[in-house]
Amino acid sequence: MSVDRQNLEIAKIQREIENYLSLRSTQMIFDYQETGNNGTRLDVITVNPRHNQSFLFHTTRGYDKIDALKQMLTYVQEQREKKNSYTIQWSLQGDNELHTSYFRAKDITEAIDKLHYGRDPNNMTVFSVVLNPIS
């Protein structure tokens, strides 16, 4: 596949994911990391426009960017709703505002890891983590 076709395919799948989640491109970051022999790791990060903080949405791995994206698309279409829903109330150190964020995760530990992704956990205070009822 040519580089141009590959880039077009990557952009197309990223838009599908954004559309499926009803998020704008400014609210999602697709972070690709080459992992050597293991292929590509894709971290999808969401950005909350209200408080401008970013959080890990989900991680997939594939043999290349397109494969990792296709796995992410499958996750958002089929698997995401199978995970538990958590509400976390938190604040940043030195900030008096209480924030509320929502995560899908297999357990509380994974939800907190998603909250802490890319930041120093010592700069945050977590006030509560609640497993939301199944609707």
Would you state the pLDDT for residue 113? Answer: 97
pLDDT at 135 over 70: no
Same domain? 92 vs 71: no
Same domain? 66 vs 93: no
pLDDT tens, residue by residue, 88-130? 999 999 988 999 999 999 999 999 999 999 999 999 999 999 9
With bands split at pLDDT 50, 70 and 90, how would you rate the model's confidence at 38? confident
Same domain? 93 vs 62: no
Same domain? 69 vs 14: yes
Would you state the pLDDT for residue 103? Answer: 94
Same domain? 60 vs 123: no
**CATH for 18:** 3.30.160
- Domain containing 133: what range? 83-135
16: Cβ–Cβ under 8 A, 6 or more apart, which residues?
73
Would you state the pLDDT for residue 19? Answer: 94
List, in sequence order, every residue forming a beta bridge with 97; answer none if it has no partner. Answer: none
pLDDT at 12 over 70: yes
Q: Are the beta carbons of 42 and 65 closer than 8 angstroms?
A: yes
Q: Which of 59, 82, 105 lies at the terminal end of a domain, its last residue?
A: 82
Rounded mean pLDDT, 2-17: 93
pLDDT tens, residue by residue, 40-84? 999 999 998 888 899 999 999 999 999 999 999 999 998 877 899
Same domain? 71 vs 101: no
Q: State the total domains in the chain.
A: 2
Same domain? 102 vs 120: yes
Q: Are the beta carbons of 47 and 26 closer than 8 angstroms?
A: yes
Same domain? 14 vs 68: yes
Same domain? 31 vs 6: yes
Which of the 8 DSSP states describes residue 67? H
